[in-house]
Amino acid sequence: VTTFGQEPLERRAIISGLGQSAVGRRLGRSDLDLTVEACMRAIDDAGLRREDIDGLSTYPGMGAGTPGFAGPSTPEVQDALRLRLNWHDGGGEGAGQMRAVISACLAVAAGLAKHVLVYRTVTESTAQGDGGRPGIGGGGGGGGGVPRFSGFLQWSLPFGAVSAVNWLALVAQRRMDEFDLTREQLGQIAVNARRNAGLNPLAIYRDPMTLDDYLAQRMISTPLCLFDCDAPCDGSTVVVVSHRDFAPDAPHGACYVNAVGTALRGRASWDQYEDLTSMAARDASASMWERTDLRPSDVDVAQLYDGFSILTMVWLEALGFCGRGESGSFVEGGGNIALDGLLPLNTAGGQLSGGRLHGFGLIHEACLQLRAEGGERQVYRSGGRTPEVAAVANGGGPIAGSLLLTRQPG
């Protein structure tokens, strides 16, 4: 147990409010504009006023990554809303995208802030314009000197492994060899996402998709095809993290933070992690279950990162919803992961069809399901009850974080 004899301090935190900006392809709006829109909606949803907000947190902010990836920095958002902050934090290193949520939980537990706006904003669709999805390093060319690369990128870019899809294709191929994973099984992640997106009026891709449609898609990096890759979009998602003492005053009720998964025990590397088939998801998941008495069988709904379909397969095993190497047979036919299945999965369409809101769309949907505000896609468990426990995972590869949320206090 990694709580060192204390109550897990994250349990003092709740998600008290949710906000999302317009979400779409090529909205042509600035990241700050979308963020402010989502912040205003989240503050209102939590029944708060701007003056109540005293914390601000994001992933990653401040110019990180390819164009449209980073979202506005916390100083920009602080100034745009003239927030009076007792605590603020941003950055791209930590337990996946949800590091921004986890640090906010710890800030409210420590008394550094009462109500934290936590945002993740992407404008990748507008940034890409009519061009394709960029590789890391841009792909060079065009004369004028091609840049050279240091750090971890030097070990992959020279060989044309310039995107996470290449790095994760290696994971997928390995799983096909080691566990007899098939494309038909992998395709269930994409087909399930599209089916659920059809029930989500805000999803990016809603037209029906069959397994045959999936199998006919063009390859990006074998065995991963276009439909194994998430859909770049523009949008901002905000959650308000508050101290649990505020729960009775939250108009939509609280989503209680039960446990967070933050561990990184193997090598933090795309190609050196010792077990190619699991990577950091294994560590984050293990550390989360070490912090709670809840078990995988208690989870009513799962929102597991699907930047690429293969990551969802990895998370299904890492979080213990099935055994190692068994995620292929677990998703076979799609029944287990459907809205009325054993483990309803990525119920808003995930990132594959809902849009690449980069982890936060999944957190948002987990809260909506716990709040029984899922509309047409609301999950009902046996006896007609709405979900009590939701698991969320962000990232995969060498960076991973997980979160267990409950409708009742832990």
Partner 1 sequence: MVANGPALRLLPRLDDDNRFFWTSGEDGKLRFLRCRSCENLIHPPAPRCPYCLAEYLVPEVVSGHAIVESFTVNHQQWIPGSDPYIVGLVSMVEQSDIRLTTNLVDIEPEDVHIGMEVEVVFEHNDDVYLPLFGRLRSQA
Name which position in 159, 207, 293, 384 contacts partner 1 (CB under 8 A). Answer: 159
Binding of partner 1 by 67 (CB under 8 A): no
Both structure tokens of 184: 């038909």
Between 114 and 356, whose beta carbon lies closer to partner 1? 356
CB of 270 to partner 1, least distance (A): 8
For helices 183-197 and 309-318, give the axis angle rounded to 10 degrees.
100
Mark the segment that binds partner 1 (CB under 8 A) among 45-53, 165-173, 254-262, 395-403: 165-173
Name which position in 49, 148, 265, 381 contacts partner 1 (CB under 8 A). Answer: 148
Side chain identity at residue 3, one-letter code = T
CB of 152 to partner 1, least distance (A): 8
Mark the segment that binds partner 1 (CB under 8 A) among 81-89, 141-149, 197-205, 308-316: 141-149
Side chain identity at residue 180, one-letter code = D
Between 29 and 174, whose beta carbon lies closer to partner 1? 174
Between 47 and 325, whose beta carbon lies closer to partner 1? 325
* Angle (CA) 335 337 341, round 5°: 60
Name which position in 14, 113, 117, 157 contacts partner 1 (CB under 8 A). Answer: 157
Q: Which residue has the tokens 């004369």?
A: 143
Between 4 and 159, whose beta carbon lies closer to partner 1? 159
- Beta-strand (E) ranges in 63-114? 87-90
What is the spatial distance between Cα 327 and Cα 316, in angstroms, rounded to a whole number? 6
Binding of partner 1 by 66 (CB under 8 A): no
Q: Which residue has the tokens 């934090």?
A: 89
CB of 45 to partner 1, least distance (A): 39
Q: If you count them, how many residues does the chain have?
A: 410
* Angle (CA) 379 381 386, round 5°: 60
Binding of partner 1 by 170 (CB under 8 A): yes
Binding of partner 1 by 216 (CB under 8 A): no
Between 3 and 128, whose beta carbon lies closer to partner 1? 128
My answer on whether omega of the bond before 232 falls inside 30° of 0, hence cis, is no
Please choose, from the candidates 144, 353, 150, 78, the residue with its C-alpha nearest in 3D space to the C-alpha of residue 232. Answer: 353
Name which position in 13, 161, 254, 288 contacts partner 1 (CB under 8 A). Answer: 161
Name residues contacting partner 1, limited to 240-279 (CB under 8 A): 270-272, 274, 276
Between 149 and 380, whose beta carbon lies closer to partner 1? 149
What is the spatial distance between Cα 222 and Cα 243, in angstroms, rounded to a whole number? 46
Name which position in 174, 296, 326, 388 contacts partner 1 (CB under 8 A). Answer: 174
Binding of partner 1 by 79 (CB under 8 A): no
Q: Report DSSP state, residue 24.
A: B
CB of 345 to partner 1, least distance (A): 25
Name which position in 78, 149, 247, 332 contacts partner 1 (CB under 8 A). Answer: 149
Binding of partner 1 by 336 (CB under 8 A): no
At 255 the three-state DSSP class reads strand
CB of 66 to partner 1, least distance (A): 12
Q: Distances in Å between the alpha carbon of 246 and those of 6, 53, 64, 270, 293?
A: 22, 13, 34, 41, 24
Q: Distances in Å between the alpha carbon of 244 and those of 105, 247, 250, 339?
A: 10, 5, 10, 30
Name which position in 222, 251, 295, 323 contacts partner 1 (CB under 8 A). Answer: 222
Sign of torsion, CA 381 383 386 390?
Answer: negative
- Beta-strand (E) ranges in 268-324? 301-304
Binding of partner 1 by 82 (CB under 8 A): no
**Number of residues forming the site for partner 1 (CB under 8 A):** 46
Please choose, from the candidates 98, 7, 65, 45, the residue with its C-alpha nearest in 3D space to the C-alpha of residue 252. Answer: 45
Name which position in 139, 253, 296, 320 contacts partner 1 (CB under 8 A). Answer: 139
| Contacting residues toward partner 1, per CB under 8 A | 132, 134-135, 137, 139-141, 146-150, 152, 154-163, 165-167, 169-174, 177-178, 218-224, 270-272, 274, 276
